[in-house]
Structure 1
């Protein structure tokens, strides 16, 4: 698994166009899991129950992680909708992204080439409008320390943009913190050195 940050959608996009009297409406949304991707597809389908087709594709993790991909032609000829949609998504380099293209049939058949162009092209146009943000890959660390070491620990956490997730103040202070995976070794080194190895650090499996 790559620990490098990757791009995810910042906000949803809707793009509509008419091709030979058929209306194609493309929706893009941020979906961090396969379950959320499927839920988004279902929500668009229920919004457009009267549409001839609601074709879709999703990339639930990183764009290059094919284990997290899915697509459907939803009644269009095989390979003319879901695959072109997915190809646009994976080519965009944006992760955690789902596209649903709703088609209201206008009576004129587009042929397989026309369908590929319509579905892929709609997603391509929508992607041009998509704003993205960077998602950092994070992990949790457990820290165990004495009370006098709290200020030092907090200042090093601030330096590495680490966030406190849970705190337990009993005989010792036990903290669960979240920080970027790429920062773990530098953070650990700084904390061990500056506390004289008095802060115990554990990375839960």
Structure 2
């Protein structure tokens, strides 16, 4: 899976949602994290920010949606199986990848029971996902295109057709354009470019770039 939704928020400014359930306060934080290390670092950031809390429970899916190669979870002192794993189940089926959720709880003096805790932590995750800003993860590449001036306008019109973005443009004997486009559309782009420039344009792949 090369393209999928991811959070459009990062660990330094995570998305938040708060619930109060039988006097306990549950504050959920969600951010995009790629890989185990980023997810664990985000957990520690939230834990440090809310060191006065009773629990900082967490779960993450740090890869594509529904894939379990990069997952993790913790009950952080809540009864076994009442927080981290139920949170993870919501994340695995939400259709979003590369995300970590930390639910911070301040105990309000009323015990919720195991079933109540499961519902509270899952509802906290649902709440933070309900209005989570999202964007599409699209693996991209950079390329250098050289084209004669007579074909420059054709190239400019082609770029939106393949979701390409112009990064830089310069001129000497011909026009040189550095562009970014989805990696999956590279072959399509080179074929269209050849057709629209009578095979006279050159295009060199520079590097793959993050989405």
Structure 2-normalised TM-score? 0.77
Q: SS in structure 1 opposite 2:141?
A: strand
1:9, 1:29 within 8 Å by CA — same for their partners in 2?
yes
Moved over 6 A (4+): 167-173
Residue 118 of structure 1 aligns with which residue? Answer: 120
Corresponding pairs, count: 202
Residue 71 of structure 1 aligns with which residue? Answer: 73
2:145, 2:178 within 8 Å by CA — same for their partners in 1?
no
Q: SS in structure 2 opposite 1:64?
A: coil
Structure 1 residues 38 and 173, CA, compared in 2 at 3 Å: closer, same or farther? Answer: farther
Q: SS in structure 2 opposite 1:92?
A: coil
Deviations 1:18-43 (A, max 9, x none): 33432221122233454443333222
Residue 193 of structure 2 aligns with which residue? Answer: 191
Residue 43 of structure 1 aligns with which residue? Answer: 45
Query: Which whole-Å CA distance do the structure 2 matches of 1:143 and 1:132 have between them?
Result: 30
Structure 2: gaps of 5 or more residues: none
2:147, 2:202 within 8 Å by CA — same for their partners in 1?
no
Pick one of 134, 147, 163 that aligns with 1:161.
163
Structure 1-normalised TM-score? 0.79
Query: Which whole-Å CA distance do the structure 2 matches of 1:156 and 1:168 have between them?
Result: 18
2:141 is equivalent to residue 140 of structure 1: yes
Query: Which whole-Å CA distance do the structure 1 matches of 2:64 and 2:197 have between them?
Result: 37
Structure 1 residues 158 and 131, CA, compared in 2 at 3 Å: closer, same or farther? Answer: closer
Deviations 1:146-178 (A, max 9, x none): 553544433322432312346687787665432
Query: Which whole-Å CA distance do the structure 2 matches of 1:165 and 1:78 have between them?
Result: 51
